[in-house]
Structure 1
């Protein structure tokens, strides 16, 4: 809004349901604008793609008007305005009725589906299939009533607490979802139904679960060495190069099992360093399957909605909402680069993303300079080159040029030659779906955070 009397230019905006924001600036537009101008707007977000939706727009001006025609124009304007207002109210009421009806129906269907899934879980537990079912009282006792002293981490879903099961005499990690969280309930059901069926040395073991009195809890084997991100970014301990390479191979092995070796393909959709757990011997245990999806092996990318963590999401996945093996492989590539460089996927010290930064060094023949400087001389140059090139290959902007996780694993094990990558990072090219396709999928992106997913 611009007021020519006070010479004040103001802009008002809001994000979602957040508070309104505004900026004001004192300026005389007569001094900076020509006699004739075109009124409009534009928006950009830098190098990243974003879909913009225009909710409403209007323009009015208080320029001098011919007095002789003022009354006539006022009458015409009033008639047109009232007519348009009536049409808008009728159409709006019709649209609101249809949307409300669909919303109520959809909510009922979702609730029925969730209740059906919980009943199915209960049936499996009663037959002895799946994880053990614990009572809330048992888990409260094991974690000292979920005391802050026992808390291992906090994420968007809730908290993780260290506990001890007296009857089994083992330490455990108990994930307690936020009470009343619909997303938490959904993730609980997904984890119980998926991870309880998986068996692999590099996947975290689900010991049991609990859903009663509106509480949802998962019981996992306890990981003494926490998550990978602590060791890479928080300075808790210095991981040797041999351990880092071992971790990369273990993570590739876990993803290979999910993508190709189980009876169905499992898309993890949230592969990141904070979801890579480490046991007492620093063996990889991939965890957090709350966003995972099952699909048949022969199927291509599936429209699932965008979920995951910024910095690890493949560009085509962000723009199309279609998860695929390739989008998981992209996330693996980013974690591989984090392991080698000791830098976060979104590093404030870098003027660009981690993938682009490493790719520039690769193109300049300086790839070795990207290695974590804390490593000093404790590196194996051949493995360093291999891991970082694999990271770039997996994080290639074009998903059709990424390797399968099996191909990447073979190169990591030096069973195949390194790929030849372009010296300059390619620009991502992909088809943007129609708005109806995107709106049909629920979006849920979490910011990159050390606390997310542990």
Structure 2
């Protein structure tokens, strides 16, 4: 895989202010040659390292090293840099630059000092307080609203999940990892092949083989439920069955006891109206029938108390064939 001075890639990327092309040696030096001690995390698309630039004022960054094992490494790298270099929003991780050299694909981001939402939701020793959970939910909604409606094209993220929701020093949510994202025209019927992580993939995607804004909304709804409940989308039970989060919360909603779904580790320290609203919007977004899901603008408007709560049926709707 020869990537040195690959002009075909350079031409794909947005030119102008902001992100820049780095040299490989700069990034190797910043990470002590990608030392294991500098690794912040690892996922399916690659590893992320803490980097420190010592020129002038010391600056810390996060450097994503796209996995060479991926069959689509170059495609994911080009897609991620091309898309996110065009985006500007307070709830998106900021791209600082890129590097394709020495058979490596490297992406430089602002460093998120509090890591990912996933880490904090499921930390063994500390509990994420309700006020921060609510703040994170609103921030994620704001990011998706920008991607779906406020950017010049519609951006399908296609992998919304807690490990891709990054948190800055003030616990503001910033959506990241655009390796499988796609640009489509607004109001377009164009659909793209599905991607994502099981538990967050909308059920219709598994049937149709296509992803849409509605499937992003589904993933968003599942994450809202996770934030409120502190439970993963699928939970193994003692009887070897699998408890599905959406079904469990909907059952409580139907029994007028939806607040029983709130993370018990909060010990009742949450605002009931905010919690109820977050859970019901989560169900609204994550229902199996994609035609009944709201747009992201509708969902965010309800979360922000601009519109009343939707009147959902007491039983979860079935998936549309």
Give the TM-score, by structure 1 length.
Answer: 0.67
1:263/1:193 CA distance change after superposition, 3 Å? same
Higher helix share: 1
Work out whether residues 202 and 254 of structure 1, in 8 Å CA contact, stay in contact via their aligned partners in 2: yes
Residue 201 of structure 1: aligned partner: 90
Give the Å deviation of 1:351: 3.5
Tell me, yes or no, if structure 1 residue 423 matches structure 2 residue 321: no
Give the C-alpha shift of residue 376 in structure 1: 0.7
Q: CA separation in 2, counterparts of 1:181 and 1:417?
A: 45
Q: By how many angstroms is 1:300 displaced?
A: 2.4
Q: Pick from 22, 37, 42: which aligns with 1:154?
A: 42
Label 1:294 to 1:322 Cα distance change in 2 as closer, same or farther (>3 A): same
Q: Which has the larger Rg?
A: 1
Alignment match of 1:377 (pick from 261, 264, 268): 268
Equivalenced residue count is 313
1:237 match: 126
- DSSP-derived class of the 2:52 partner: strand
Looking at structure 1, the residues matched to 207 and 69 of structure 2 have their Cα atoms a distance apart, in angstroms, of: 31
Aligned partners of 1:236, 1:284: CA distance in 2, in Å? Answer: 21
Q: 1:158 Cα deviation (Å)? A: 1.8
Instruction: Return the match for 2:117 from 220, 225, 228.
Output: 228
Q: Structure 1's 330 and 301: CA in aligned 2 closer, same or farther, altered over 3 A?
A: farther
Length-normalised TM-score, structure 2: 0.93
Q: What is the CA-CA distance between 1:301 and the residue it aligns to? A: 5.1
Distance (whole Å) between structure 2 residues aligned to residue 119 and residue 244 of structure 1: 39
Quote the residue 1:185 is aligned against.
74
Partner of 1:210 in structure 2? 99
1:359 pairs with 246, 250, 267, which one?
Answer: 250
1:298-447 to structure 2, matched below 5 A, reads: 298-300=187-189, 302=191, 304-349=192-237, 351-430=242-321
Checking the alignment, whether the CA contact within 8 Å between 1:233 and 1:344 is kept in structure 2 is: no
Q: Distance in 2 between matches of 1:265 and 1:418?
A: 26
Task: Provide runs of 4+ in structure 1 moved above 3 Å.
Answer: none
RMSD of aligned residue pairs (Cα, Å): 1.7
Confirm or deny: 8 A CA contact 1:249 1:409 kept in the other structure.
Answer: yes
1:429 shift after superposition: 1.4
**Structure 1 unaligned blocks of 5 or more:** 1-110, 431-454
Structure scoring higher RCO (CA < 8 A, sep ≥ 6) equals 2
Partner SS, residue 323 of structure 1 = coil
1:275 is aligned, of 164, 168, 189, to: 164
SS at structure 1 position matched to 2:298: helix
Structure 1 pair 326–301 and aligned structure 2 pair: CA distance change class (3 A): farther
Unaligned 5+ runs, structure 2: none
Distance 1:317 1:247 in 2: 27
Question: 1:116–1:429: structure 2 CA closer, same or farther, 3 Å change rule?
Answer: farther
Describe how 1:61-76 pairs up with structure 2 within 5 A.
none
